[in-house]
Amino acid sequence: MTARRDFAGFFAYAYSGVLAQAIMLCGDRADAEDATQEAFVEAYRVWDRIAEYDVPEAWVRRVMVQRLWKVYRRRKTGQERLLQLPVPVQAGPEQTAEAREVLRLLATLPPRQRITLALFCLEGWSQQEIAAALRMTRGGVAANVAKARQTLREALGMAADEVTGREPLVAGMGTGWLGGFGAPRVGVGQDRLVGVLLDTQSWVRAAVETDPQLVERARAAVADRLREDR
């Protein structure tokens, strides 16, 4: 991270990955962009401190999760409208169809199930960490994750102990793309559902990155937010 200590470089490096995670958490691009931009605004304000962190984007992701949760915690049902994302150039039709099916199924989950599942399986947060961040009990987190996993496994026709041996949905962007974002602590290479979710998130990141002006528009939006707060 030494080459990315300046905020502008950090923003260009981290924005698309944080946005992809936000989309996986909530399923709505507008809400995801709002929460992601707010998180980077907060990061800018304390950049002198968090720039020294080994993984400053982890701090940004945590703020983004908190912003999204404020919006979604009172909702009982998921966002069932179709998430509009362009097709990554690296992905074939079958891979795109699978990613969109996974996103459709995620949209049917209640918000508590979706966000706890994503944090546990994609970010590798412990049940206790999720409980503290979302102000839930650890048992409540465990129950929501279990229900979400069961629903998705059944919908995808997976056995509970099925092992992944699949190719990534996007060439060159399988589970390894997480890199500095932190490998999950559960199930990679063991649990097929985790592999499917990770590959779907990589597809989402590749999809948002097909827009060459993505970072510049987001940078301008963050600058506008900072000006409004003065």
Span of 67-76, 152-161, 171-180, 182-191 with lowest mean pLDDT: 171-180
Residue from 215, 144, 133, 145 nearest 187 by CA: 145
CA 94, CA 91: separation in Å to the nearest integer?
Answer: 8
Q: How confident is the model at residue 220 (pLDDT cuts 50, 70, 90)?
A: very high
Q: What sign does the CA torsion over 166, 169, 172, 178 have?
A: negative
Quick one: average pLDDT of 154-161? 80
Calculate mean pLDDT across residues 173-177: 39
If you write DSSP's letter for every residue of 185-220 in order, what string do you get? SS-TTT-HHHHHHHHHHHHHHHHHTT-TTHHHHHHH
Provide the residue ranges of all domains of the chain, joining segments of one domain with +. Answer: 2-228
pLDDT tens digits for 23-60?
A: 999 999 999 999 999 999 999 999 999 999 999 999 99
Supply the pLDDT for residue 185: 38
Coil, strand or helix at 183:
coil
Q: Residues 88-128: pLDDT tens digits? A: 888 888 889 999 999 999 999 999 999 999 999 998 999 99
pLDDT higher than threshold 80 for residue 70: yes
The pTM of the whole model exceeds 0.75: yes
Whether pLDDT at 182 is above 80: no
**229 has a pLDDT exceeding 50:** yes
Query: How far is CA 36 from each of CA 58, 153, 165, rounded to the nearest angstrom?
Result: 12, 29, 33
pLDDT of residue 161: 56
Residue 176 clears pLDDT 50, i.e. is over it: no
Q: Which two tokens stand for residue 157?
A: 């026709």
The Cα-based distances of 33 to 96, 147, 165, 210 in angstroms read: 22, 28, 33, 16
Q: Which residue is listed with tokens 């949209």? A: 107
Residue with more model confidence, 15 or 170: 15
